[in-house]
Amino acid sequence: MPNAPNTSASKESTSGLILIVGIATVCRLVFNTSRRFAYPFAPVLSRSLGVPLTAVTSIIAVNQATAMLGMFFGPVADRLGYRLMMLAGLALLVGGMFAAGFFPIYVVILISLFLAGLGKSIFDPTVQAYVSERVPYRRRGLAIGFLEIAWAGSTLVGIPLVGLLMETFSWRSPFFVMGGLGLIGFVCVRLLLPQQGKPVKLQHTSIGFREAWKQLVVKRRALGALGFAFFASVANDNLFVVYGAWIEKAFDLSIVALGLGTSVIGIAELLGEALTAAFADRLGLKRTVIVGLILSTICYAILPLFGQTLSQALVGLFLTFITFEFMIVTSLSLTTELLPNSRATMMAGCLATAGVGRVSGALIGGPIWLTGGIFATSLVSAAFSALALGSLVWGLHGWQKP
């Protein structure tokens, strides 16, 4: 079997692992920037393309929807090989970015960001499975935590660089830069990253795929993880879509000041990922996720208490997002070992379920905010976070790392 637990880990040198994780992290930084840059620069894209702002938000929605399509590629990666699917994801990113740069019209931009989003949805679970196969479980939190730094990096580094490129050159220039970086990443993965083993031949493919997905609902630990991913994502996005409205309304902020709130969240994400890398393995992944969920639930519930001043509100948001990021990144490390012979399938299923949760949270966030303000938003997020805790505890009851 190519994906037997840790068959490569014991043979991989420290320098080899650093190279693998380093290349994967840089590639993910480009993917994450391509996913997130349209949010702050939606007005720029709207003016440049000559379309309404709602047309750009439609592009964002289509990009986000690709997370649910990625679930179909998990079993393919488990059977054909992780590196091959990583290359396929990078190829979609490169093709999408260059197409958007060379043909700056709305339909092409829509298709290009769809391709880049699909590439990310293929690359993310595959690279997590690839790294997890080579890194021993006792060091998994460090490796996955470092990989996830690319998420905060897209906010703190990627998006500011996109803005600088747009300001200095043109609104099309970031597409060429991301396409070029993706191409460099493709070459590095192809030439520098070793194959994880001999791929399984695609015999009786339909049966294999059916059995692969069956594990996600038959195995209690897998089903509990899917429920956790959904409920935790609903909780987070229910707050995320309205936090700007909260602090803007409460403190009459300018656009620049609102940007400060985004920076605070980016720093919280980065520190949460760093905490996972530093402490999750020492504390134990299962215990750490549960403790993180409890702290996250508490932070959601008490967030309105921080609404007296702007500085307090930013502190409350910081605590909420750092506990969430610490918990969610550690959970990724844990999830990589729940189905060790179908890692990409497990990770793709969780990421797809989390995508459904994010969409659900975004849909309910606005109405809940309009109905009850930050108090209602906080209570609903805390309730969904508690459901995530219950789902995970139920799923992992009696489970120990084999």
Give pLDDT, residue 91: 97
Q: Does residue 22 lie within any of the structural domains?
A: yes
pLDDT class of 3 with cuts at 50, 70, 90: very low
Same-domain check for residues 171 and 128:
yes
Same structural domain, 250 and 347:
yes
In a domain, 2, yes or no: no
Say if residue 109 is exposed, middle or buried (CB neighbours under 10 Å; 0-12, 13-18, 19+). Answer: buried
What is the percentage of the chain residues whose pLDDT exceeds 90? Answer: 36
Task: Specify the pLDDT at position 259.
Answer: 57
Q: Tell me 39's DSSP state.
A: T
The tokens for 348 are 């793709």
Query: Would you state the pLDDT for residue 5?
Result: 43
How confident is residue 196, by pLDDT bands cut at 50, 70 and 90?
low
How many domains are there within the chain? 2
pLDDT in tens, 33-91: 998 888 777 778 888 999 887 788 778 777 777 877 877 887 788 788 889 999 999 99
- Confidence at residue 198, expressed as pLDDT on a 0 to 100 scale: 44
> Among 74-78, 178-182, 281-285, 323-327, which is the least confidently predicted range?
74-78
Q: 117 and 76: one domain?
A: yes
pLDDT at 334: 87
For 186, the token pair is 């493709």
Of 151-155, 198-202, 360-364, 395-399, which range is least confident?
A: 198-202
Q: Is residue 361 part of a domain?
A: yes
In a domain, 359, yes or no: yes
What is residue 166's DSSP assignment? H
Is residue 388's pLDDT more than 90?
yes
Q: Say yes or no: 265 and 169 in one domain.
A: no
Shared domain check, 175 and 83: yes
Give the tokens for residue 362: 């975004």
Asked if 66 and 43 sit in the same domain, the reply is yes
Domain assignment present for residue 4? The answer is: no
pLDDT-wise least confident of 194-203, 229-238, 303-312 = 194-203
Which of the four pLDDT bands, split at 50, 70 and 90, describes residue 254?
A: low
**CB 139 within 8 Å of CB 15:** no
Query: In this structure, what CATH number is given to the domain that contains residue 327?
Result: 1.20.1250.20
Q: Decide if 234 contacts 360 (C-beta within 8 A).
A: yes
Contact 118, 70 (CB under 8 A): yes
Give the pLDDT confidence score for residue 205 in this predicted structure: 41
Residue 335 within any structural domain of the chain = yes
Mean pLDDT across the stretch 306-318?
A: 89
Does any domain span residue 342? yes
- Looking at residue 101, what is its pLDDT? 95
The pLDDT score that the predictor gives to residue 2 is 41
Structure tokens at 86: 């990583």
When pLDDT is cut at 50, 70 and 90, the band that residue 253 belongs to is: low
How does DSSP assign 311-369, residue by residue?
A: HHHHHHHHHHHHHHHHHHHHHHHHHTTTSTTSHHHHHHHHHHHHHHHHHHHHHHHHHHH
Q: In terms of domains, do 196 and 258 share one?
A: no
Domain final position from 203, 232, 247: 203
Residue 3 included in any domain: no
Write down which residue in 145, 170, 203 finishes a domain: 203
Sign of CA dihedral 158, 163, 169, 174: positive
Same domain for 221 and 370, yes or no, is: yes
Q: Looking at the predicted structure, is the pLDDT value of residue 200 above 50? A: no
Alpha carbons 133 and 4: distance in angstroms, whole number: 8
Instruction: Check whether 11 has a pLDDT greater than 70.
Output: no
Q: What is the pLDDT confidence band of residue 204, given thresholds at 50, 70 and 90?
A: very low
For the chain, what is the total number of helices (H) and then of strands (E)?
Answer: 18, 0
Q: Bigger pLDDT: 372 or 5? A: 372
Q: How confident is the model at residue 9 (pLDDT cuts 50, 70, 90)?
A: very low
Supply the range of the domain harboring residue 95. 9-203
* Together in a domain, 259 and 331: yes
Q: Does 154 lie in the same domain as 280?
A: no
Instruction: Give yes or no: residues 26 and 148 share one domain.
Output: yes
Q: Are 180 and 272 members of one domain?
A: no
In the predicted structure, residue 234 carries a pLDDT above the cut 50: yes
Q: Return d(Cα 53, Cα 42) in angstroms, integer.
A: 7
Report pLDDT for 201: 42
Instruction: Compute the mean pLDDT over every residue in the chain, rounded to the nearest whole number.
Output: 84
Does residue 111 carry a pLDDT above 60? yes
CA dist 230 and 328 (Å) reads: 12
End of a domain among 203, 223, 258? 203
Angle between helices 53-69 and 343-396 (to 10 degrees): 80
Confidence of residue 351 (pLDDT cuts 50, 70, 90): confident
